[in-house]
Amino acid sequence: MLDSSTEQVPSQGTKVAHAEEERHARPASGIAAFIPKGIGRVDDPTDALRQLITSPDLSFLMEAHDGLSAAIARKAGFAGLWASGLSISASLGYRDANEASWTDVVEVVSRMVDASGLPILVDGDSGFGNFNNARLLAAKLLQRGAAGVCLEDKGFPKMNSFVGDRHPLADIDEFSGRLKAVKDTTGHDFILVARTEALIAGYGLEEALLRAEAYAAAGADAILIHSRKSLPDEILAFTDRWQNKLPVVIVPTKYYKTPVAAYRSAGISTVIWANHAMRAAVAGMRQICARIIAEESVAGIESDVATLDEVFRLLGYDELAAAEERYLPKHG
């Protein structure tokens, strides 16, 4: 963990009301001194993520898949990020089937940490192998400034939960070993979320509860329960039976029409908007590319894209200009 002061990253809602002012007032830490003050690392990302997940208020994590999308999410006001395996894979030109390596993921997350300064929960898929791969992944993510990792109870390689019907689950004891290995390696310095795919694989509520109990015993800090149904019924049935033995995290990609009030009533801890920045980028780039090739000009699209000045502001070019004035020799 980085040496830090006691200052904490604000949580959701009213707790982020003065986030922009505080970030500009805070000096950059030594390890990230070259990062603009409006970006930079959080003082204690793990503590910040723990506060979000254990808060009595419903928290939200926004998907990001590179430094730019991470910076945009922070600018929008999100207090934490989800480093999506699907989105990172897609941005690298891979399918979400463990075609991107764990080192690919670690490198991307490192850029997201520096570009946003937000606590990041990383989609670690199934851990990229057995207990040894999982603990190595977690250790490297911790070194690079991530706040936590989420592991799902599948084998390696895994397939995206919304693709096809072949989603074999890992043996409970073997997967629990992966969780224990991660916790023994990272201890209290790293958040571990255990994700069960029991509902995705069609095994039903009882299997999901059985696995959640085992993963809690193995040291998980929270349980992510996943569903591919268009209604949240099986998620809400799980939370009703689970009774918040550990915080519950959900990913409402398929049951997106459900009002968040239902999640608050169910005592759900955290909602992950899991792939929407990537999908927005796909839709936006597709539209602009189609117009440019059809119109053979960029004149008509200029008002529909970000200005270069906006990009420069987002990534703190003003800090670099100020640093040049301070550090470069003066001539003439």
Q: Which ranges in 19-156 belong to alpha helices (H)?
A: 19-25, 45-54, 67-76, 85-91, 102-116, 131-143
Six-digit token pair at 242? 């689970």
Catalytically annotated residue among 96, 123, 125, 153: 96
Q: Which ranges in 39-84 belong to alpha helices (H)?
A: 45-54, 67-76
Burial class (CB in 10 A: 0-12, 13-18, 19+), 162: middle
Cβ neighbors of 299 (< 8 A, separation 6 or more) are none
H/E element, 262? helix 260-265
Under a CB-based contact definition with an 8 Å cutoff, are residues 126 and 160 in contact? no
Identity of residue 32: A
From residue 165, give the alpha-carbon distance in Å to each of 196, 202, 280, 300.
16, 9, 26, 44
Angle (deg, nearest 10), helices 205-217 and 172-186: 30
Active site residue 96: yes
Active site positions, annotated = 96
